[in-house]
């Protein structure tokens, strides 16, 4: 397994079409949660804001988006056309990303983290 030290390095390691989807996802997360800290964690892009916000990763046929269990439950109906598991949803590489749904899930996760104040930021 290749160890990446940046999200850009991670994204650039995939085929062009997959890169485009990953770049869209990166942009969505950064625009929706501009205060989030971007890093590689568990070998994939991750974003922290008052605790873990979201992860994402590319696979052979899909992009895994990891917003956590509560988010998957809260958006169960909207996610009914996608393969989901406990804290994950899979977006096919063959279809455009559901931008508004992803943005809404990130907003949900931001609110959840602020409500729980998992790890208050120290200045």
- Higher-pLDDT residue of 52 and 119 is 52
Q: Is the pLDDT of residue 112 over 80?
A: yes
pLDDT of amino acid 122: 46
Specify whether the CB–CB gap between 98 and 60 falls below 8 A. Answer: no
In the chain, where the domains are located: 7-116
Determine the CATH number of domain 7-116. 3.90.1150.200
In tens, the pLDDT along 25-81 reads 999 999 999 999 999 999 999 999 999 999 999 999 999 999 999 999 999 999 999
Q: Is the pLDDT of residue 120 over 80?
A: no
Secondary structure (H, E, C), the chain: CCCCCCHHHHHHCCCHHHHHHHHHHHHHHHHHCCCCEEEEECCEEEEECCCEEEEEEECCCEEEEECCHHHHHHCCCCCCCCEEECCEEEEECCCCCCHHHHHHHHHHHHHHHHHHCCCCCCC
pLDDT of amino acid 13: 95
């Amino acid at each position: 397994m290749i160890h990446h030290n940046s999200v850009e390095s991670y994204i650039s390691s995939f085929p062009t079409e997959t890169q485009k989807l990953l770049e869209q996802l990166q942009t969505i997360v950064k625009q929706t949660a501009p205060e989030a800290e971007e890093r590689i964690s568990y070998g994939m892009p991750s974003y922290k804001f008052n605790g873990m916000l979201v992860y994402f990763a590319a696979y052979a046929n899909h992009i895994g988006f990891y917003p956590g269990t509560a988010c998957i439950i809260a958006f169960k109906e909207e996610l009914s056309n996608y393969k989901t598991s406990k804290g994950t949803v899979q977006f096919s590489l063959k279809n455009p990303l559901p931008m508004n749904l992803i943005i809404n899930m990130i907003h949900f996760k931001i609110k959840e983290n602020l409500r729980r104040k998992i790890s208050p930021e120290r200045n």
